[in-house]
Every structure is written in C-alpha cells, then in structure tokens.
Amino acid sequence: MSVKKIPLQFKTDIPPAGETEVVNPFDGSVIATLETAGEKHINELLETAKELYDDRAGWLTVQKRVEILERTASIISEREDDLIKQAAGEGGKPYNDSKVEIYRASDSAKIAAETIRTEAGNVIPMGGDLYSANRAAFTQKEPIGVVVAVSAFNHPLNLIVHQVGAAVAAGCPVIVKPAVETPLSCVSFKDILVEAGLPPEWCQVVITDSNDTAQALVTDERTAFFSFIGSSRVGWSLRSKLAPGTRCALEHGGVAPALVYPDADMERAAVLLAKGGFYHAGQVCVSTQRIYVQKKEGRRFVSLLQKEAQSLKVGDPALKSTQVGPLIRPSEVERVHKWVTQAVKEGAELVCGGKPVLDTCYEPTVLLNPSDKSLVSTEEIFGPVVCIYEVDDMEDAVARANGLDVAFQSSVFTSDIDTALATAKKLNASGVMVNDHTAFRIDGMPFAGLKKSGLGTGGIPHTIKDMSVEKMVVLRSDGI
C-alpha cells in the first residue's frame, strides 16, 4: 500500500518545520506523511485570515455561504465510501460507526446552511417611550472575526464540520488544527469546501505536533474566537492564555453517569448502556462510564451488562463485523490497563474483560463497585471500561452523580415518567437522556460541558451564534 505524501495546506514560501506520520491505530501501518507547520508560519497564517476579515466589502454573502455548505453536504454524501475508509483507517472507529459519522457530517453541513438561511437579526421595538420616538431599530448578524479551531481525533470529520463548517456559515476566516493522529479527514474536508466554492484562503489547515506552535496560534491577539475540542487540562490551560477580547468555546469530557431505577426495563438498559459505554472503544466525551443501580437489582443488572460486553466483537475497524476497534495509540491501551489493574487492587470486582487485545485494542471491561478514589472513578477513562456502582437508594445515586467535578450528559432509565422528569431536574447535567444511553447526540441539539467539562454550547446552530456578532442599527427620521 502506497503512503500518501501531503504538503503544507496553505500558501507559503517558508519551508515546513518537519514531517509527521499518520499511523493506522489497529495495525501500526503508516498511511500518510504530512509536512508540518511551525511557529515561523503563524504570523503569515493569521495575517492572511485577518486581511480577509478586515476587507468587509469582500465578505462572503449569505447566499454564497449557503451554496457552499449545501454543495459540501452533497459532495460528502457522494464520497461516502472513501471518507468512511479514511476515517476508520486513521482514527480506528469501526466501519459501521464511521459510516454514521460521515452521514452526520453531511447532515451537519446541511444544518449549517439551513441555520443561516432562516436565522436573521431581530426588530427592536421603538417609539414606546419619549426617548425612542422617531426611531426604528433592527439587528443583523456579522462574523466575529478570525476563528482558530483545535480539534480532537475521535470524530475526525464530523467534529471538523462542527467547527470549520460553523465558521464558514458565520462568514469567518478559519484556521484549523486537527488532531495530529487524524488530519486526513480534515484535509479532505478543506478540499471539499474549496470544490464547493470556498476560496481556499478562507480555510487554512495547520498540521503540527508542536504544542508551542498551537499555543502561539491560539493566543495571538488576531484570534477573535477560539474553538477547542479535547482534554480539559489543555483546554483550560489555553483559555487562561488567550489575548484580551478573544472569546472561546471549550468542549472537554466527563464520566456520563447513568441511573437505572428498579422499575426500568433492565434488559433494554443493558443493551443501550453497553452501546453508550463501548461505542468507539469508549473514546467519546459522553461515553457511559458510571452506572448506578440499587443493590437489590445489582447482580441481575451486572450479569445482563456482562453478557452484552462479552458479545461484542473486537478487532479490525475496516471490517463491517467489528463493533469495538483499537484505542488511538498503544500507550492508551497501556494506560487503560494500568487503571483497571489498579482499580481491582483497590477493591473493584472485575466482572469481565480487563486485558489488552493484540496490543492495540482492549477488551470491553465491566468493573463493579470500584473505590471512589480509584482513577476509574475520579477521571475520564476514555477507553472501553464501564463501572457499576451499587447504591442503597436512587437519591444516593443522584448525589454521587452531582458530586463529580465534571458534568455533561447523563441517563435515567425508568418506566415512570414522573420519576424520569423529577430525576432530570435533580441532575446537574446539560443533557439528560431518558431510557437511552448517555452518548446520544444529533448535530443540531445543544451540547455543552458544565463544571470542568467545558465552556459554551456546541451544536451547529449554537456554534454559529457564538461565531457571530449581533450588530444593532438604529434609524432616526422625523418621518417615522
């Protein structure tokens, strides 16, 4: 298999800083080599973007942006097979799950187009008092400025559409740094945007494995909006270094608690929570990590979840039969195994799993009653590990879920609507899924981390709003 060689993804006379390899996380084969950017490129990148923004007469019209995004959605659908194979190859997400991601990426572009087609400014009532007589007022949406987006590996195309597609929809020049493990989907998306009619300088892709280069890009005063998807440690650190006036949105992770009430359909809950916990080998910011169940139902639920976990096929993400693929790199397999082993030493019962597979994958693992001090309880695992905690009553479950320093999406399983609504109100979470797993998401819905899990609200319409300025225009005329 030939190795792709990809040059710098922006115009420059400055030589590349170096090269990086894209490696298939399942078999370790090299897929591509890409030239990387360095700090010496930063000024050029930002100046190009800033000049585009400052030339207000040259802004992309709403009509042009709609046309670009609608055509982009069509091209993604037309190239579905190639994009699926690429996403599975560089990111390790199983074929069928990658297929869903490519569908969602196309849908995300459609949502972006529809959002700017239908959402405009507002009319501000005037004339109702002495001070506003003889005036009419309205607001209109304008781009906020240069957007810098830093993305994650786990959804290599759709996350890029959420960040870059939203910036295009808002009319902002955008500089995007994809995860160094999965840059190919981002490069493909840039190519699709250009084919759909976007002038290439409006989206500059920066491939770099240098933290200093990324930080210099993010913290420059020319960056008007910073969009980050990744670890809370990196996100909060970068936020503290932003230039005055730079706005930001941070999307980190959580531990996605699920509460299974005694009256729930236990079999159905086990099926869905296995999906929520082991989808993409648990490498999702809202993967189900904690499940609370009352002690009297504990053993029954444990056996049901064990059955589901052990039925999953682990292996090559290129195969349609695979349900759990590799972790993004072997060091992550080692980390997850270390955490699981330590949790068992600290008192957790290993229900199933607990071993690496082929050095690049990890068995779907269920732990029962790990210590609250174990890393599997205190940190986001980001691996195929689900922890079950037996509680005396469900009020205790709510208290334990709310006692965490991260908060994102959660789940409630019950057959009683009053219980579902009451628990949803009690839970400190930005989203509560009733009788569904924690990882459910569609691309137009609000998606937000609370506490240490993030800042701002994701979802295409919400991101476009964040990347826009609502400018008010007041007209004074004696004829009004």
Give pLDDT, residue 99.
98
First to last CA, the chain: 72
Residue 409 forms part of a structural domain: yes
Do 350 and 292 lie in one domain? The reply is: yes
CA-CA distance, 75 to 54, in Å (whole number)? 30
Residue 68 forms part of a structural domain: yes
Tokens of 139: 């607001």
Tokens of 468: 């826009």
Give the tens place of pLDDT for each residue, 387-426.
999 999 999 999 999 999 999 999 999 999 999 999 999 9
Do 271 and 244 lie in one domain? The reply is: no
Q: Does residue 387 have an active-site annotation?
A: no
The domain spanning residue 67 has which CATH number? 3.40.605.10
**Stretches in the chain below the pLDDT threshold 50:** none
Do 319 and 387 lie in one domain? The reply is: yes
Residue 461 forms part of a structural domain: yes
Strand order in the sheet with 349-352: 349-352, 365-368, 385-391, 290-294, 257-260, 409-413, 431-434
Q: Does residue 380 have an active-site annotation?
A: no
- From the candidates 251, 308, 332, 363, which is the catalytic residue? 251
Do 36 and 134 lie in one domain? The reply is: yes
Do 243 and 333 lie in one domain? The reply is: no
Give pLDDT, residue 308.
98
Give pLDDT, residue 338.
99
Residue 113 forms part of a structural domain: yes
Do 109 and 32 lie in one domain? The reply is: yes
Do 374 and 421 lie in one domain? The reply is: yes
The domain spanning residue 339 has which CATH number? 3.40.309.10
Give pLDDT, residue 1.
60
Residue 164 forms part of a structural domain: yes
Do 204 and 353 lie in one domain? The reply is: no
**DSSP category for residue 363:** -
Residue 478 forms part of a structural domain: no
Is the four-CA dihedral 113, 195, 208, 279 of positive or negative sign? positive
Do 231 and 320 lie in one domain? The reply is: no
CA distance to 234, 300, 421, 439, 444, per residue, from 293 (Å): 34, 10, 18, 19, 31
Do 461 and 355 lie in one domain? The reply is: no
Crossing angle for the helix pair 62-78 and 80-91, to the nearest 10 degrees: 80
For 232, the domain range is: 4-252+453-473
Give pLDDT, residue 480.
72
Do 216 and 279 lie in one domain? The reply is: no
Identify residue 307 by its one-letter amino acid code.
K
In 230-352, beta strands by DSSP E: 247-251, 257-260, 290-294, 349-352
CB 224, CB 174: distance < 8 Å: no
Do 14 and 45 lie in one domain? The reply is: yes
Give pLDDT, residue 479.
77
**Cβ-based neighbours of 54, under 8 Å, separated by 6 or more:** none
Give pLDDT, residue 422.
98
Give pLDDT, residue 120.
81
Give pLDDT, residue 119.
84
- From the candidates 203, 248, 285, 361, which is the catalytic residue? 285
Tokens of 364: 């779907």
Work out how many domains the chain is built from and give that number. 2
Residue 448 forms part of a structural domain: no
CB 46, CB 217: distance < 8 Å: yes
**DSSP category for residue 256:** -
